[in-house]
Amino acid sequence: MEQQPGYILLIDCPDEKGLVHHISGVLYRLGLNIIGNQEFVEHEEDRFFMRTSFRGAIQPDEVVEELKALLPAGANISLRQHQPKNIVLLVTREQHCLAELLVRNQFRELNANILAVVGNHPDLGRFTHQFGINFHHVPHEGISREQHEAHILEVVSRYQPEYLVLAKYMRILSPEFVARFPNRIINIHHSFLPAFIGASPYRQAYERGVKIIGATAHIVNNDLDEGPIIVQNVIPVDHTYSVNDMIRTGKDVEKIALARALQLVFDDKVTVNGNKTIIFD
């Protein structure tokens, strides 16, 4: 027997009595096979969040309409078929996060399709090609940031990706660029945010003499290093670690944090709530 398509329903709206009962009623009357169901109420702002995964033959637009009719004003409803997301990666020179994603992609463990990799340096082109993935070198030297971003946008647009992943892309994106992909750019920052915002976080960590270093995967918004955090990951260090030891050790933490964050995002488990995330894991 052929399996019915799977869907993920994400709802957030002002909290009120009976939401679970009413929403589950819609799904029950459609005769769907519920796989999982989770709710959360953010009590500081009385907002209700829900994630339901189910299988069934539905007309998604009709389900959304029916839900909209019974939910309070200000409700966000997302109903997506469960399938791999199309993504493009941006990189600079470091390979560890790129490699992590290329390997998972090749073995279909990423829940995404890497359509292409864009680098502002050419260094990772050959490596990307080993995996049979397109690499585009979009240099930034000698042109303005606006021009560079326009070039990137031109390349990215050809692929129509659902998400951009900054896999150690070491340039700051302009608010205008970010605004084109709202909540759809994922970055890995090489520190335990909000510690060590900005450049050379491992040098900063070394100078401060911390005993734990970390990495933060987050959604990019207009403020540098300030977007909603998805995953943080840490590892102990001690006084014997040079800056380079921290950088090397940090790579493992970074790539695993990024990979876990992407798994959550691509499984539609992440809802953005202001500058925070609600994660139904």
**Nearest residue (CB) to its own copies, 156 versus 220:** 220
Q: 131 is written with which tokens?
A: 């995996």
Compute how many residues bind its own copies; rule: CB under 8 A.
Answer: 66
Distance of CA 19 to the CA centre of its chain: 28
Is 166 an interacting residue with respect to its own copies (CB under 8 A)? no
Return phi, psi of residue 20, to 5°: -60, -45
Quickly list H helices, 131-277.
145-157, 175-179, 201-208, 243-266
- Tell me if residue 46 is catalytic: no
Helices 60-70 & 19-29 angle (0-180, nearest 10): 150
Q: Which stretch binds its own copies (CB under 8 A): 28-36, 76-84, 153-161, 162-170?
A: 28-36
**Nearest residue (CB) to its own copies, 158 versus 211:** 211
Among 15, 123, 225, 267, the one annotated catalytic? 225
Is 156 an interacting residue with respect to its own copies (CB under 8 A)? no
To its own copies, the closest distance from the beta carbon of 9 in angstroms equals: 13
Q: Are the beta carbons of 222 and 63 closer than 8 angstroms?
A: no
CA dihedral sign, ordered 220, 125, 153, 159: negative
3, 144, 160, 240: residue in contact with its own copies (rule CB under 8 A): 240
* Integer Cα distance of 186 and 281 in angstroms: 18
Binding site for its own copies (CB under 8 A): 17-18, 20-21, 24-25, 27-28, 31-44, 95-96, 99, 103, 106-107, 109, 127, 130-131, 192-196, 208-212, 214, 228-232, 234, 236, 238-240, 242, 248, 252, 256, 259-260, 273, 275-279, 281
Q: Active-site residues: which are they? A: 225
